[in-house]
Structure 1
Amino acid sequence: MTPLPAPFSDWFAAKGWSLHPHQSQMLARRADPALLLIAPTGGGKTLAGFLPTLLELADGTHQGMHTLYVSPLKALAADIRRNLTGPVEQMALPIRIEDRTGDTTYTQKRRQRADPPHILLTTPESLALLVSYPDAPRIFAGLQRVVVDEIHALSESKRGDQLMLALARLQTLAPGLRRVGLSATVDDPAAIARFLARHPDDCAILQADPGPDPDIRMLVTDQPPPWSGGGAAYAIPAVLDQVRQHRTTLIFHNTRAQAEIFFHNLWLANDDALPIGIHHGSLDRAQRERVEAAMVAGQLRAIVCTGSLDLGLDWGDVDLVIQVGAPKNVKRLVQRIGRANHRYNAPSKALLVPANRFEVVECLAALEAVKAHDLDGDPRGPGPLDVLCQHILIAACAGPFDANALLAEFRSAGPYATLTRAQFDDCLDFVATGGYALRAYDRWQRLQQRPDGLWQLRDPRSAVLIRQNIGTIQDSDLLKVRMRGRGPALGEVEESFAASLTPGDTFLIGGQIVRYEGLREMTVEVSRDKGRKPKVATFSGTKFSTSTQLSHRILRLFQDGDFSALPDHTTDWLRLQADVSSLPEPGALLVETFPHDGRQHLCAYGFAGRNAQQTLGLLLTKRMEALNLAPLGFVATDYATLVWGLDPVTDPAPLFDPQALADGLEGWLRGNAVMKRTFRASATIAGLIQRSHQGQRKSGRQATFSSDILYDTLAKYDPDHLLLRITRDEAMRGLVDFGRIEEMLTRIQGRITHNILPRVTPLAAPLLLEVGKVPIQGTAQDRLLADEADRLMQAAGLA
C-alpha cells in the first residue's frame, strides 16, 4: 500500500476512506510511460487517474499545464471539474482546474492559451483545435500526463483516431508525456493498450477487482410483448410500478425517437404525477442542464434517456436502470447497468424490457453474456485516412512541417502504426492539391513545398477556415426548433424531417406535442398542441445493429433447444417454429419459402445485423431480377431478410453464391445514394468540403448538392481518387456492412437449409408487420400493370 503524504492522508481519514488496491497500483506505477486501468463503475477510476497528478502538483512549483484530461462528452469534462475542485479546495492545494469544450467562452479560451491551468479537461475536438495553433509548443511545454477517460468509447470511433494523432503531436512537444487510459468495459485490453501506447510494449494493464455481478433480469409484465415494433408501450404500467419502488430510475433507449415516444406514453400514464424528465442529445442544452441539475438534487424519480447518459457521469442517487429494447451490444449494456448503485463493490440493479417477441430471445442472450463477462467488440482495423488528411491540415495550421518527421509522428499513434509511405504520400498529395481531377482548381491548392523542403499553408489565412471545420462528428443536418414568437428553444430535428412537414403537422420533442407553423431563418417554428396524435421526429443518432457475438449466442440457444429461461409465450412460439419448419442454427443458413397473400415469399435468417440484412435484401432482389424471379420488395431486421415477389424460388443456392453477391455489390455501389452519403461525410472530415465558413454553417441541402457534384466528377474523371477509395472502405464497414454478410457466408460454408412451406411460419410472421418495406422497380411492376390491364379489358368485354 502506497503511503499518502499529508494533507492527503488527513483528507482520506476525514472521509473515512482508504485507497483501493488499484489506486495504490496507479500511484506506484505513475512513472510508467502508459497505463490502462480497467475498473468497475463506482470503483474510483477518476481518483486513480488524478491522484498522481494532485501529488505532483501539491508543492506548487510546477508552472503551466501539468495534466490533460480528455473525455468523450462535454458534460463529463464539466462533471469531473466539479468533482476534482472539491478535494483540491478542501486540501487547500495550489492547483487550478479548468475545462475547455465547445461550451467554453471565447474569452476563457484565449486566457487558457495565454495562461494554461495546471489541469485542463477537454474533448478530442477541442484538443485537436489547440494543437493547431502556432503557440501549441508553449501551451504544452510543461505537460507531464494525459488521462483519457472512457477510452473504450473513443477507441470505437474516428474521434479516438483523431485523439491519438493529437497525442502523437503532444508527445513530440513534450517527449516525457505519460499516458493513462480509464475504462470499465473493455473486451480486448491488449488492443486498447496498443491503441493508447506510443509503442506496443509500453502500456501496462491494471485490472481492478470487478466486484459483485449485477442484479439483472427481464422485467415481468402482465401483457406479453407485441410481435413487432420498438415502442414497448405494453410495459408502461410495469415500468411505472418500478419507478414507484425506487429512488431514481434511468430508463435507457437506443434511439432518441424511441425515447420521445416512451416518455410521452409514460407521462400520459403517470397518474401519481411522479417527477419524470427526458434527456437526449437533440434537446436544447439549457433543457438538458435543467434535467441534469434536477437529477443531482434528487428531484426526479425517473429520467428517460439515450446514450447521452451512458458514460461516466455520476448523476444523483440512481438505484435502478431499465433498458427498453434489446441492448444490441453487451458492452453498452454493461456501461448502462453501471449507472445504478454508482458505488464500489455494490451490485448494480437493472431490468431489460424487450420491445417485441424476438427481442425476448436477444435479451436472454445479453443476460447470459453479462453473467459470463463476455463483452463483445469487433477489431476496427487501421486508422481511417480521412482523419489523417484532416490532421495534416491541422499540422500545417501550426506551422511548416517536414513530411518525414510528420510520417514518423503519425506512425507513433496506435491506429496508424502500420501506415505505409504510399498511403501517407497519397494523403499529403490530396491535402496539397486536391488530387489529379481537382488540382486545376485554386480552392483545393492548400499546401505548398518551400525550397528547404518543408510544407506550409499556401495561404496562411486559410487556417481560420480549417479550424472552423476541425472534427470527425458529422451533424445530420439539424435545424433548431423554437416556439413561435421568439419563444424558448426546444431542441433540434433533422432537416429531412422538417422538409416533410406542412403547417399544422404535429410532432414530439422534449416530451411535448408541438404544431409545426413554418420555417423561418433556418429555424423550425412551432406552437403547443395537445389535441392530436403526433408524428415523431426522426432524430439523428445511430440505429444499432445486434453485435456478432450476441447473434452467435442466439443461434447457439436455438441449436441447444433449452428454452427454460424464456417466458411461456416465447417458448411456445419457438417450439411451434421448430414443429412447422426449423430453427436457425450456426452452421447453416435457414431459408424458408412460402406463399402468402397472393405473393411468393423467401425468408433468409442470416443473423448479420440490420445494416447487413438490408444490404442482403438489395443484393437478393437484384439477383432475383437477373434470374427472372420478379421480386417486388423486401424488409430486413437484425436477424432476417424477407423478400416477396411473383414467382417461387425453388433453389435458393444460386442467390447466395459469394462471388455473385460480391459482383452484385460492386454494381450496386456505383452511383448509389449510400456511397454519396458516405462520400460527403469523409470529404467533410478530410477537408474537401467545408460545413462552416466565417461562422456560418451551410444547410444540409447546400452541402449535399456540392458533395454530389464532387462525387460525380471524381467518379467520372478520377475513379481511383483517394476519397473514393476511402468512401468505399467506409461504406463497406458502415451503412452497407458487407463484412457481416461475408462472415455469415464463411460461417455457413455453402450449407443452406431450404424449407418449402405451405404458409407463413411463426418466425417469419413478425417481418410481415415491419414498416419500411422497400419497393423494387423492374419487370415485376410491368407484369402487374399488364395483368391489371388484361383484367380491365376483360371486364370491359374487349378481350
Structure 2
Amino acid sequence: MTALPPEIDSWFAAKGWHPHPHQLEMLARGGDPATLLVAPTGGGKTLAGFLPTLVELTENPRKGLHTLYISPLKALAADMRRNLTGPIAEMGLPIRVEDRSGDTTQARKKAQRADPPEILLTTPESLALLLSYEDAPRVFANLERVVVDEVHALAESKRGDQLMLCLARLQTLRPDLRRVGLSATVEDPPALSRFFMAGGCPVLTADPGPDPDIAMLTTTAPPPWSGGGAAYAIPDVLEEVKKHKTTLIFHNTRAQAEIFFHNLWLANDEGLPIGIHHGSLALDQRKKVEAAMVAGDLRAIVCTGTLDLGLDWGDVDLVVQVGAPKNVKRLVQRIGRANHRYNAPSRALLVPANRWEVIECQAALEAVLARDLDGDPRGPGPRDVLCQHILIAACSAPFDADALFAEVTRAGPYAALTRAQFDECLDFVATGGYALRAYDRWQRLKQRADGLWQLRDPRATQLIRMNIGTIQDTDTLKVRMRQNRKQLGEVEEGFAASLTPGDTFLIGGRIVRFESLKEMFVDVSHDRGRKPKIAVFAGSKFATSTQLSERILRLIHRVDLTALPAHTREWIGLQREVSHLPQAGRILVESFPHYGRAQTVIYGFAGRGAMQTLGLLLTRRMEEAGLGPLGFVATDYATLIWGLHPVEEPAFLFSRQDLVDALEGWLSENALMKRSFKAVANIAGLTPRNFPGTRASGRQATFSSAILYDTLRKYDPNHLLLDITREEAMRGLIDFGRIEEMLDRTDARVDHVITDRVTPFAAPLFLEAGRVPVEGAGREALIQAEAEALMREAGLA
C-alpha cells in the first residue's frame, strides 16, 4: 500500500510537496504490528505516522475510534489537531479529529467516551484515565492504530513507563492493534524499540540529512573562568539575532534563561521583539509567546527544554545553545529546531558560559559532526508506577493476577519483571504491606472466591482516578531563621534534602547554618565569619554525559589543540607544566595550600551530581581520618575540598567498600530518603495528593509521608516502598552509579600531585566556592578581581 488516494495525492500536488521516502515506507508498513520511526527533527515524522490512518479512512470511511495519537505535551496534541483538521477539511475527508487532556471540559470528555472521534489526540495521563473506566473495552473496541510521538522523550521518565503499561493494556483489549512510535535521532534505536515493545520491533531510520552548520560563537570578550550566565556574550548574541529571522536561544535551566533574557533585553537598544518561554511561566503568557512565534512576530525566544519537542514554531533559522549542552543527543534535537525542513542544514551556535565549557562545547560540536550520540542505558520499569497501574486495572474491572502479570511483562520496561516482584506489588496494593495491613485505609483490594481481584470499596475509584499520573510537583521549601521564624527565601527541595546539620550555605547574600528540615521549612541559624560549606549551585540541572566526559578527556590530551581558542590552549598547556592533565584511566588528585587551608582537588569527570556526592562521602572519610575537612564545592569535572590538614596519601579515600559504607551512614543522617519516599508514595498510591473537593498541601503530604517513612523504617525495614525509594535515591540526586563507573574505569589508580600554589585547572573551582551574591554595582568587579588574582597565582597572566 504505497499509492496515495487521489484526494491526498492532489492535496500534496496543490501544496507543491512530495512525500519523503520514509513517509512512503511507513505507508507501506501500515499493516505491520509495530514500527519505530527514527528521523531527524524537521523530517516529517508526524505526517509519516498519520499517513496510513488518513489513507485507510479515505479508502474505507467508518465511524468510531480508529487511531489514538499520544504526545507528552498537551500543547503538542492541540497543535496536532490544528495541523490535521486543516488538511482534512481541504481534502474533504469525513474524519473527525479531537484532542483530550486535562484542559478538556468534563462535558466534552463524557461525549468523547460515548461517541469517540475517528482520531483522538491525547496524553499518557489521559489515556491511563480512560483505561480506568468500566467502559474502556467499548471505547477502544474498534481501535486500529496507536501513534506515540516523541518516544525518545517519554523513555527518559516514568511517564513513558506508565504509557508502555497502558499500551500493553490496549493490546489486551485489541490484540490486533498496530502501534507506531515516532522518535528523534537517538544513540541506540534497537534499545528504544525494546522500550516501545517487549522484545523490540522493526526500526525504520530516515535519512539523517546534511550535517548541521554548527560552530562556537566567536565573542569579543573571552568567557569568564566560572559561572553559568554567559553575560559576556550578550552583544555578540544580539548581533546574530539581528542577522536572522527567528532565533531560539536555549538554556539548561529556567533561572539561567530568566537572567539571560533580562540582560538581552537591557542590551536590546533597537527594541527587537524578543520573548521568553519556560515551564514556570503562567499558561496565558506561554500561549501568547507561542502564538507570536507561530505568526513570526518574534525575532528571538529565550527558552528551556519546553521547546525541545516537536512543535513547529515557524521560520526558525538559528539555534543558540547557551552553556555546555551536557548531552550530545539533546543538543542534536535542539539544533533540529533551526530550518525545520527536511534535508535542509540547521544552523547552530554554541556559547560556553565559562572556560571549562569551551572545552566541553568543542567536544560536543565534534560529537555532533561525527554523529556520535550519547545516552545512559535504561533501568527496569519502576515498581511504584506498576503499583499505580494495578490500581488502574482494578478500577476498570476485576482482574486475574496471572493474566495481568502476563500483560505487564508485554510492556518493554517490565519485560524482565519476575513474578515475585509482581506479587510483592500486588500485595502492597491490596494490603499496604506487613506494617500497614492492620489499617483499613490501605486495604484496597480483595480476592474473590473465583480468584479474581477487585476493589474492596468501589467508591475508591474516584480517589484513584484523581491521582493518576507520575508527574510530581517541583516543591520548594521556605528557609527561615530558627530563632524568630523570619523567612529568608526558598530553596529547591533536592538541595535541602542533601543537607546535614552543621552544613552552611548561601541565601540572600548571607551565610546560614542548616539546623533541621521540618515539614516544608528549612530551619537555619546565623553563621558569621565562615565560608559556606556547600555552595548553592546556579548551574545546569543536567550532568555531563559519560560519553561527552570521555571526549573531553581525549580532547585535552591532543597534540594539536588549534580547534580551541588561544586562551584555552594556553590554560591547558600550563596545567600540563604545573601539574598533570586528568586521564580517563586514573584519578588525578592535587594538593596545595590556599586561603590558609589545605586544598584537595579530585578530578573524576563523573557529572555534577556524582561529584557532589563524592564530596559528601570524601569529607566524611577525611573527618574519620582526622584531616579536619571544612567544606567542598563540586562541578561536572572536579570536587574541591578545603580543610585543616593536607591529604598525604589519597588512595585510601577511594576504597569502594568504604565509600559504600560512608554512603549508608550519610543517608541515615539526612532527609534525602524521606523526601524521595514522598514521591514514591504519591505515585504508588500510598499517600494521595488529590482528594475530592480539595488537594493535600505540600506540607500535609510531607507530614503524612514522613510519619509513614519513620514507621516503615522502624517496623518494616524491607517494605517495598523503602526498597523503591532507595533505588530512586541512588539513581537520582546521589548518582552513585557514576561514582562506581569512575572507580571501574580507573581501578582506583591515583595520580597525586603536590604543589605550592593553585593549579590552572583548580583555579576556577575557587570562583565557584566564592560566588557570594553581593548586591550592587561592585559585584561583577569584585568577582573579576578575584578571578584575576587567582589566575596570576596559577601562572596565567
Amino acid in the other structure paired with 1:297:
A
Q: Please state if 1:241 is matched with 2:239.
A: yes
Which residue number in structure 1 is paired with residue 46 of structure 2?
46
Give 3-state SS (helix, strand or coil) of 2:6's partner: coil
Shift of 1:422: 0.5
Shift of 1:496: 7.0
2:604·2:742 contact (CA, 8 Å) conserved in 1? yes
Q: In the aligned structure 2, how far is the partner of 1:687 from the partner of 1:217? A: 48
Shift of 1:540: 12
The alpha-carbon distance between structure 1 residues 603 and 323, as it changes in their structure 2 partners (threshold 3 A), is same
Give 3-state SS (helix, strand or coil) of 1:7's partner: helix
Which residue number in structure 2 is paired with residue 113 of structure 1?
113
Which aligned pairs between 1:564-583 and structure 2 lie closer than 5 A? 564-583=562-581
The alpha-carbon distance between structure 1 residues 171 and 542, as it changes in their structure 2 partners (threshold 3 A), is farther
Which stretches in structure 1 are left out of the alignment for 5+ residues? Answer: 480-492, 500-505, 508-521, 523-537, 775-799
2:227·2:539 contact (CA, 8 Å) conserved in 1? no
Which residue number in structure 2 is paired with residue 503 of structure 1?
none
Which aligned pairs between 1:164-183 and structure 2 lie closer than 5 A? 164-183=164-183
Which aligned pairs between 1:266-665 and structure 2 lie closer than 5 A? 266-477=264-475, 543-665=541-663
Q: In the aligned structure 2, how far is the partner of 1:571 from the partner of 1:541? A: 24
Which residue number in structure 1 is paired with residue 25 of structure 2?
25
Shift of 1:61: 3.4
1:63·1:142 contact (CA, 8 Å) conserved in 2? no
Amino acid in the other structure paired with 1:115:
D
Amino acid in the other structure paired with 2:137:
P
The alpha-carbon distance between structure 1 residues 569 and 300, as it changes in their structure 2 partners (threshold 3 A), is same
Q: CA-to-partner distance for each residue in 1:546-576, whole Å, 9 max, x for gaps?
A: 1111011111112334321111111111111
Which residue number in structure 1 is paired with residue 70 of structure 2?
70
1:277·1:291 contact (CA, 8 Å) conserved in 2? yes
1:282·1:539 contact (CA, 8 Å) conserved in 2? no
1:159·1:472 contact (CA, 8 Å) conserved in 2? yes
Q: Please state if 1:692 is matched with 2:695.
A: no
Which residue number in structure 1 is paired with residue 795 of structure 2?
none
Q: Please state if 1:129 is matched with 2:149.
A: no
Shift of 1:691: 1.1
Which aligned pairs between 1:53-64 and structure 2 lie closer than 5 A? 53-59=53-59, 61-64=61-64
TM-score by length of 1: 0.88
Q: Please state if 1:96 is matched with 2:96.
A: yes
The alpha-carbon distance between structure 1 residues 541 and 766, as it changes in their structure 2 partners (threshold 3 A), is closer
Q: In the aligned structure 1, how far is the partner of 2:771 from the partner of 2:400? A: 54
Shift of 1:477: 2.9
The alpha-carbon distance between structure 1 residues 450 and 176, as it changes in their structure 2 partners (threshold 3 A), is same
The alpha-carbon distance between structure 1 residues 649 and 171, as it changes in their structure 2 partners (threshold 3 A), is same
TM-score by length of 2: 0.89
Which stretches in structure 2 are left out of the alignment for 5+ residues? Answer: 478-489, 497-506, 509-519, 521-535, 773-797
1:476·1:494 contact (CA, 8 Å) conserved in 2? no
Q: CA-to-partner distance for each residue in 1:507-540, whole Å, 9 max, x for gaps?
A: 9xxxxxxxxxxxxxx9xxxxxxxxxxxxxxx999
Shift of 1:59: 4.2
Which residue number in structure 2 is paired with residue 719 of structure 1?
717
Amino acid in the other structure paired with 2:575:
Q
How many residues in Structure 1 have an aligned counterpart in Structure 2? 725
Q: CA-to-partner distance for each residue in 1:158-193, whole Å, 9 max, x for gaps?
A: 111000000000001111111111112211111111
Give 3-state SS (helix, strand or coil) of 1:250's partner: strand
Q: In the aligned structure 1, how far is the partner of 2:234 from the partner of 2:370? A: 30
Which residue number in structure 2 is paired with residue 490 of structure 1?
none
1:279·1:291 contact (CA, 8 Å) conserved in 2? yes
1:60·1:94 contact (CA, 8 Å) conserved in 2? no
Q: In the aligned structure 1, how far is the partner of 2:754 from the partner of 2:629? A: 18
Which residue number in structure 1 is paired with residue 482 of structure 2?
none
Amino acid in the other structure paired with 2:375:
G
Which residue number in structure 1 is paired with residue 195 of structure 2?
195
Which residue number in structure 2 is paired with residue 533 of structure 1?
none
The alpha-carbon distance between structure 1 residues 541 and 180, as it changes in their structure 2 partners (threshold 3 A), is farther
Q: In the aligned structure 2, how far is the partner of 1:178 from the partner of 1:672? A: 48
Shift of 1:55: 0.9
RMSD: 2.2
Give 3-state SS (helix, strand or coil) of 1:10's partner: helix
Q: In the aligned structure 2, how far is the partner of 1:618 from the partner of 1:159? A: 31
Q: In the aligned structure 2, how far is the partner of 1:643 from the partner of 1:539? A: 16
Shift of 1:698: 2.1
Shift of 1:750: 2.3
Shift of 1:680: 1.0
Which residue number in structure 2 is paired with residue 767 of structure 1?
765
> 682, 705, 708: which one pairs with 1:707?
705
Q: In the aligned structure 2, how far is the partner of 1:585 from the partner of 1:450? A: 63
Q: CA-to-partner distance for each residue in 1:650-685, whole Å, 9 max, x for gaps?
A: 000001111111111122222532211211111111
Shift of 1:423: 0.2
1:633·1:773 contact (CA, 8 Å) conserved in 2? no
Give 3-state SS (helix, strand or coil) of 2:199's partner: coil
Q: In the aligned structure 1, how far is the partner of 2:113 from the partner of 2:537? A: 36
Give 3-state SS (helix, strand or coil) of 1:560's partner: coil
2:228·2:538 contact (CA, 8 Å) conserved in 1? no
Q: In the aligned structure 2, how far is the partner of 1:18 from the partner of 1:303? A: 31
Q: In the aligned structure 2, how far is the partner of 1:458 from the partner of 1:477? A: 33
> 740, 743, 754: which one pairs with 2:741?
743
